Amino acid sequence: RNESSKRMVDKLPKRVLQPTSEPISVAPPSPFDLECTSHLAAYMDRESPQESAEQQTHRVYVLSAISTIFKEWVHSVCISKSFSEEVARKAGGAVFTSGSYRLGVNERGMDIDTICIAPQMVTREDFFHSLKVILEDHDSVENLNAIDNAAVPLITFDFDGVNVDLLFAALARDSVPEDIDIDDDAVLIGVDPQSEKSLNGPRVTNLIRFLAPNFPSFLLVLRCIRLWCKRRGLYSNKLGYLGGVNCNILVAFVCQRYPHAAASRLLERFFYILNHWEWPLPISLTKPFDAGLGLECWDPQAPRNRFHVMPILTPAYPSMNSTYAVSHLSLEVMQFEMQLAHEKVRSILEKGATNWDALFEASEFWVTHQKYLAVEIFVVDKKPHEMAEAVRAWTGFVESRLRTIVEALAALPTCNLRLYPKKLPLHTPMPKNQPRQGCSYFVGFDVDMERMQGEELHLTAKMEAYKAKIYDDALKREVLTEQNGHMYRVRVVPFNSWRDLPDELLDETMGGREAAKGARRRIVAVRRKKEAAAREALEADQQGDVEGVESTAGDKRRAEEEQPSNKVAKLSAGEAAAVFAADEDGAANGDPRLAARSADPRLAARAKAASAETKAAAAAETLQ
């Protein structure tokens, strides 16, 4: 098997990394752009501070501890499977980070995406059994949750206060040295789909780092976009918005278009380009490449890819769409926010960029819509020592299906649908105050009066069908059983207005009910201003149409009026005199068309000439 792998490696094509297109501008930054960037960097240091050197050192310690635990575990698994001590010692194992942390974003409180790479003797079943037990028993580990049925299985936990997402990959080889070249496409030979996806985490991150020019500017803009997404309710890959890898690729893409631009200008260009991008045209950092290993690369012609609405492709082989969860509805939300953000950035730059608050304002989601739904996910009647694990498993399962409730609402006479991707506490009481643990998410929407039939919007049937589908899927995937199904609940609570939202929710999200009222008044004022402008524009268009019709009619009349006079040049002097005399008579009787024609200087001149000819002829006759 190893010899076969070596022969395959020798035949692998060599990749030449090139951006998908040439830069739009290679101009250096202006002094003004540099000054604006200085203000932007100072703002980000205040609003989204990086970890201190001590905190970063602590993260390095956590990663080192996890690496030690993992390598010792690989050795013990090999011994337990009757491999020799020499084989177990050479088995090795490696730990890599990926995502924003690997790129150098050190936001306070951010998690670390970590990939454990093991040799083929160690399996994913071992990972979710024996390694899980070791981590659960470790004094520094808390809040552990194993998600073995996900597309990319992982174990998530807090290690000494640092949140870690631990993924697993098994290579088709007997040993994994610590300095393995993970960027070599040959590491993918013989791996299963889950390992392939896990390995592509650090592989994608490394290529983004390589393909993004002007890396300090890239990092500053990336920090801005991450903060903007979180403040505006757009940060969640699972719920159909943007996640970490999507932000990384998009910012690198804009940097490629303006490789020497300052961060403040790149930020403006980011929103401009994405606001005008013609989706579903894919965004990619490098030209397509097939390493010849038979792995599926993203292809727009593939049947299941034709419905991807916002493809953002990963640069590593095999290329994948990192935004497959985006729907037409969530794309509309992001496009609206991109347009708004671009207007704000331009206004900020015009004022000297000394204050960036407007761009990073918290979302007004809670006072924007006519109606709201709370989707409550919770567990009841569990023993105390089982409750935390049950809640984590159940909420994770339902969260992956939250997008479908928006799709269900879209079938009703609704518009401006938006799922807010922030996990919130349970805010509504249960009947009889039944104890429960869980979380809630909110959906906002408006009623589309043009599609309404009747006076009431009926949600019950759609919501019951949505819940039934969740329970059916949970039974099929053995997340719950017929016996314990009553313990796992999904509850949809409607609110007829933002005014009906709980006080504690508005306290948490808007700073209180009075602040919410002020925000609502501002939104209503802006809407009325836009509606007035739209009415004025419509009236102007209608007036223009009327004037256009009148102008067309006038042109036609003038053409009719001018048509006879256009024949003047063809009339004899006598004919012109006769016409002129008839027109003068008609004009005297009030015919405006004849009045206009009688005023034609060409006709008058010909008539005058005819009169002179007549007088000359009469004089000649007299002389004769």
Give the integer Cα–Cα distance in Å for 245 and 113. 11
Query: Mean pLDDT over residues 174-193, rounded?
Result: 95
Q: Is the domain of 195 the same as that of 255?
A: no
Q: Is the domain of 199 the same as that of 59?
A: yes
Binding site for Mg(2+): what residues are annotated? Answer: 111, 113, 165
Q: Is the domain of 174 the same as that of 228?
A: no
Q: Is 144 within the bounds of a domain?
A: yes
Token reading at 242: 């943007």
Q: Report which of residues 139 and 547 the model is more confident about.
A: 139
Q: Is the domain of 503 the same as that of 425?
A: yes
Token reading at 209: 């780092």
Q: Is the domain of 101 the same as that of 153?
A: yes
Would you state the pLDDT for residue 10?
A: 53
Give the integer Cα–Cα distance in Å for 516 and 202. 43
Contact call for residues 434 and 487 (beta carbons, < 8 A): no
Q: Is 3 within the bounds of a domain?
A: yes
Question: CATH no. for residue 107?
Answer: 3.30.460.10
Q: How is 271-318 classified by DSSP, letter by letter?
A: HHHHHH--TTS-B-SS-----SS-PPPP-TTSGGGTT-SS-BB-SSSS
Q: Is 528 within the bounds of a domain?
A: no
Contact call for residues 501 and 507 (beta carbons, < 8 A): no
Would you state the pLDDT for residue 507?
A: 95
Which residue, of 314, 346, 378, is where some domain finishes? 346
Q: Is the domain of 328 the same as that of 221?
A: yes
Tell me what the pLDDT averaged over the chain comes to: 88
Beta bridge partners of 445: 371
Q: What are phi and psi of 557, to 5 degrees?
A: -65, -40
- Reported as type and span, the H/E element at residue 439 is strand 437-447
Q: Is 359 within the bounds of a domain?
A: no
Question: CATH no. for residue 411?
Answer: 3.30.70.590
DSSP 480: S
Q: Is 525 within the bounds of a domain?
A: no
Give the integer Cα–Cα distance in Å for 324 and 308. 6
Contact call for residues 362 and 202 (beta carbons, < 8 A): no
Least confident piece of the model among 78-92, 311-325, 522-536, 568-582:
568-582
Question: CATH no. for residue 263?
Answer: 1.10.1410.10
Q: Is 47 within the bounds of a domain?
A: no
Counted domains in the chain: 4
Q: Is the domain of 149 the same as that of 269?
A: no
Binding site for ATP: what residues are annotated? Answer: 111-113, 165, 235, 244-245
Q: Is 337 within the bounds of a domain?
A: yes
Token reading at 382: 């569990």
Least confident piece of the model among 158-172, 188-202, 426-440, 496-510:
426-440
Q: Read off the pLDDT of residues 279-290 as tens digits, 9 standing for 90 and up.
A: 999 999 999 999
Q: Is the domain of 228 the same as that of 243?
A: yes
Q: How is 311-371 classified by DSSP, letter by letter?
A: -BB-SSSSP-BTTTT--HHHHHHHHHHHHHHHHHHHHHHHTTSS--TTTTPPP-HHHHSSE
Q: Is the domain of 77 the same as that of 22?
A: no
Which residue, of 186, 206, 226, is where some domain finishes? 206
Q: Is the domain of 222 the same as that of 197?
A: no
Q: Which domain holds residue 311?
A: 1-31+212-346
Q: Read off the pLDDT of residues 428-477 as tens digits, 9 standing for 90 and up.
A: 887 777 789 999 999 999 999 999 888 789 999 999 999 999 999 999 98
Give the integer Cα–Cα distance in Å for 438 and 419. 18
Q: Is 450 within the bounds of a domain?
A: yes
Residue whose tokens read 């990963």 = 314
pLDDT above 50: residue 229: yes
Which residue, of 181, 206, 231, is where some domain finishes? 206
Token reading at 617: 């002829």
- CB neighbours of 104 closer than 8 A, spacing ≥ 6? 219
Q: Is the domain of 335 the same as that of 397?
A: no
Token reading at 385: 């020592």
The DSSP bridge pattern shows strands 437-447 and 112-118 to be: unpaired
Binding site: what residues are annotated? Answer: 111-113, 165, 235, 244-245
Q: Is the domain of 395 the same as that of 249?
A: no
Token reading at 612: 């002179």
